[in-house]
Amino acid sequence: MIAISKEFWNDIPLLHVVDQEKKGHALPTLTYIHGFTSAKEHNLPLAYLLAEKGYRVLLPDAMLHGERETDITDIERELRFFDIVKQNLDDIESIYQELVSKELVEGNRFGLAGTSMGGITTAAALTQFSWIKTAGVLMGSPKITAYAEQLISYMKTQQKELPIPDDQLILLIDELKEIDLSLQMEKLFGRPLFFWHGEEDMVVPFDHAYSFYEEAIDHYKNPENIRFLKEIGRGHKVSHFAILEFVNWLEYQL
């Protein structure tokens, strides 16, 4: 029986999805980060499919989302997008440390993946944590600096004046360079990496991930360790096909 438990790990609310009989065992484990304005429950189909194959899946709520949502406006949350990504990185490290302390990870078989903002977080995490064995970026950008610059440019066209001073925006861009995977491809270390993106995505640019992939593949001795799956005519929504393909790929790579 697949069990779905609502738990709190170091004050992080998450769903723990695993075969009930194996819950206390060391297992290959995936932590999956949801997208902006989404919540942990939205990724249960993927978690269930993986749990059926013998994996442990952890679905945390990001800061200002789900059970961590506070009384702020949509605009205020948008302005804190990159603060949320940075907090996600702290949360991922905290979750991993908890897994290790409880001896719940089998060997080094820890994977990280996410949708949209979660995919952006995943790519950033690869620059920080060498213990991530396998990663998946579903309609996210591994070019967080370029993404931030495009976002700022777009917001400036929508508003005459942003509520953030230009000097703070410059500081933000400089900070994001430290977690920009496209600027630190040597930190891939040949780790298995999966991309999925719809070609008609109007939220996170398709080209960010695809151009990164075309350059990154040269950093892999085994090209099978990096895969890019694109869907023609697909917008900013992960398809069932993408979920099935990613689950099958993880079974091979994690």
pLDDT in tens, 37-93: 999 999 999 999 999 999 999 999 999 999 999 988 888 898 899 999 999 999 999
Q: How confident is the model at residue 74, as a pLDDT?
A: 85
Give me the amino acid identity at 160: K
Q: How confident is the model at residue 91, as a pLDDT?
A: 98
In this structure, the number of other CB atoms found within 10 A of the CB of residue 201 comes to: 20
Distance of CA 80 to the CA centre of its chain: 17
In this structure, the number of other CB atoms found within 10 A of the CB of residue 1 comes to: 5
Beta-bridged to residue 31, according to DSSP, are 58, 112
Q: How far apart are the first and last CA of the chain?
A: 22
CB 229 within 8 A of CB 194: yes
Token representation of residue 162 = 């942003």
Say if residue 155's pLDDT is above 90: no
- The phi and psi torsions of 25 (rounded to 5 degrees) equal -90, 160
How far is it, in rounded angstroms, from Cα 164 to Cα 111? 35
Band of residue 31 on the pLDDT scale cut at 50, 70, 90: very high
How far is it, in rounded angstroms, from Cα 180 to Cα 141? 10
Mean pLDDT (the chain) is 95
Band of residue 1 on the pLDDT scale cut at 50, 70, 90: very high
How far is it, in rounded angstroms, from Cα 181 to Cα 147? 12
